[in-house]
Amino acid sequence: MEENYHKWYSPNLSKEMEMIVYGHWGYPLLIFPTTRGRYYESKDFHLIDSIAWFIEQGKVKVYCLDSIDEYSWYNRSIHPADRVKNHIWYDKMILEEVVAKVQHESPIGKVAVAGCSFGGYQAANFAFRHPEKVSHLFTMSGAFDIRDQLDGYYDDNVYFNNPVDYLPNMNHPDLYNMKIILGTSEHDICLGANLGMSSILTNKGIDHWLDNRPNASHDWPIWREMFPHYLSLM
């Protein structure tokens, strides 16, 4: 399996960012890490191994992103308004420095995004904010309400980065063409969040699959089981 490490200075974040890309060709797939996770997390927890066949066969080319959670949502040393603003810079970095690069390399035009746990929030928020850029959204035990990270603070920036708030009022036509899978399980701490997101999508008439699996919890084994199944449906 081809593996390439990338490091660059991000003008949006004013810091160096890192990423690992797996594969030589295929549909571009961006993976967001879990809470405070790093770009190598998906490899360390064998999520990449679970989809190795798709990578080796040139079905997908996987971009494992880094996070800045310690500067944004999980930075308790700064005001909640600044946590959100730092995330907005991160979103801009993904859009302008990663997706733009991917689109230059690939003739497909759109990307697929995925994430587990808090990475599910990141993937969903990016997809719903930029539906013209995203064709597929795969979340596994995703969380979709960011307000718990903000100590009761709320403003327009929070609204526009909290999918459970802004999505009901969105009518972008590309939302209705996006292939969406919400993966959860019987003992998942985010089961309620997934049922709620599924309800929002259903009420808007947005087609999706709520995959609720028995006898599993919020952890890597079920995510490694889900992910190759979801890629097989692309």
User: How would DSSP label each residue in the chain?
Assistant: --EEEEEEEETTTTEEEEEEEE-SSSEEEEEE-STT--TTHHHHTTHHHHTHHHHHTTSEEEEE----TTTTTT-TTS-HHHHHHHHHHHHHHIIIIIIHHHHHH-SS--EEEEEETHHHHHHHHHHHH-TTTEEEEEEES-----GGGTTT---HHHHTT-HHHHGGG---GGGGT-EEEEEEEEE-TTHHHHHHHHHHHHHHT---EEEEEEEEESSHHHHHHHHHHHHTT-
Portion of the chain with pLDDT greater than 90, in percent: 94
Q: Which domain holds residue 77?
A: 3-231
Question: Which amino acid makes up residue 15?
Answer: K
The CA-CA-CA angle for residues 60, 212, 190, to 5°, reads 90
> How do residues 149-195 score in pLDDT, each as one tens digit?
999 999 999 999 999 999 999 999 999 999 999 999 999 999 999 99
pLDDT tens digit sequence for 219-228: 999 999 999 9
Residue 139: is its pLDDT beyond 90? yes
CATH number, domain containing residue 172: 3.40.50.1820
pLDDT given for residue 106 in this prediction = 85
**pLDDT for 107:** 86
Which pLDDT belongs to residue 104?
87
The pTM of the full predicted model, rounded to 2 decimals, is 0.96
pLDDT tens by residue, 35-45 = 888 999 999 99
- Structural domains in the chain (count): 1
Per-residue model confidence as pLDDT tens digits over 121-133: 999 999 999 999 9
The model's pLDDT over 53-110, given as tens digits with 9 standing for 90+, comes to 999 999 999 999 999 988 899 999 999 999 999 999 999 999 999 999 998 888 888 9
Report whether 115 contacts 121 (CB < 8 A).
Answer: yes
pLDDT for res 69: 87
What pLDDT score does 222 carry?
98
CB contact at 8 A, 20 and 6? yes
